[in-house]
């Protein structure tokens, strides 16, 4: 079957995104529920719904497998180090907006709020930077192919 590199790339990106979504759905169906300080996940899916979701994930993956072979597509493996590093880089920009100066764009900042945020922010950024450094040495390792 003839397929141009542009078609192969577009199809591959879309189908990889589908498979990534299936991984997330599978995690929820298997009971995933994270509990942070501010971020929490609530998984109230019934056992029956979880089973139905897992069945559908399996059905879709059974469709994907021969399609990948027919089109000669290769999957990609997400590197934990790259994913963590990328989240840290993106989050750093958001955290910088919490300094008292940038916060003024939402209106006047009380001196107490400014002092509080300006005192906590450097420590939060240092923590994010430490996480980023912890994984930076493992970045760039060639991803395993599926």
Whether 146 maps to a domain, the answer reads no
Q: pTM of the prediction?
A: 0.79
Q: What is the pLDDT of residues 53-109, one digit of tens each?
A: 999 999 999 999 999 999 999 888 889 999 999 999 999 999 999 999 999 999 999
pLDDT at 141: 53
Say whether both 64 and 84 belong to one domain: no
Please check whether residue 125 lies inside any domain of the structure.
Answer: yes
Domain that holds residue 65: 5-71
Query: Which of 50, 71, 92 is where one domain is finished?
Result: 71
For residues 13 and 61, membership in a common domain is answered with yes
Sign of CA dihedral 83, 139, 14, 59: negative
Boundary residue ending a domain (26, 51, 71):
71
Considering only CA atoms, which of 67, 84, 83 is closest in space to residue 75? 67
């Amino acid at each position: 079957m003839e397929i141009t590199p542009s078609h192969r790339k577009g199809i591959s990106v879309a189908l990889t995104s589908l498979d990534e979504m299936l991984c997330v759905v599978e995690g929820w169906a298997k009971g995933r529920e994270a509990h942070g300080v501010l971020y929490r996940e609530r998984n109230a899916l019934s056992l029956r719904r979880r089973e139905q979701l897992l069945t559908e994930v399996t059905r879709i993956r059974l469709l994907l497998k021969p399609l990948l072979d027919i089109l000669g597509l290769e999957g990609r493996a997400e590197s934990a180090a790259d994913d963590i590093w990328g989240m840290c880089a993106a989050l750093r920009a958001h955290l910088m907006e919490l300094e008292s100066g940038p916060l003024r764009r939402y209106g006047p900042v009380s001196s107490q709020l400014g002092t509080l945020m300006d005192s906590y922010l450097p420590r939060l950024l240092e923590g994010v930077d430490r996480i980023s450094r912890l994984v930076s040495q493992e970045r760039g390792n060639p991803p395993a192919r599926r």
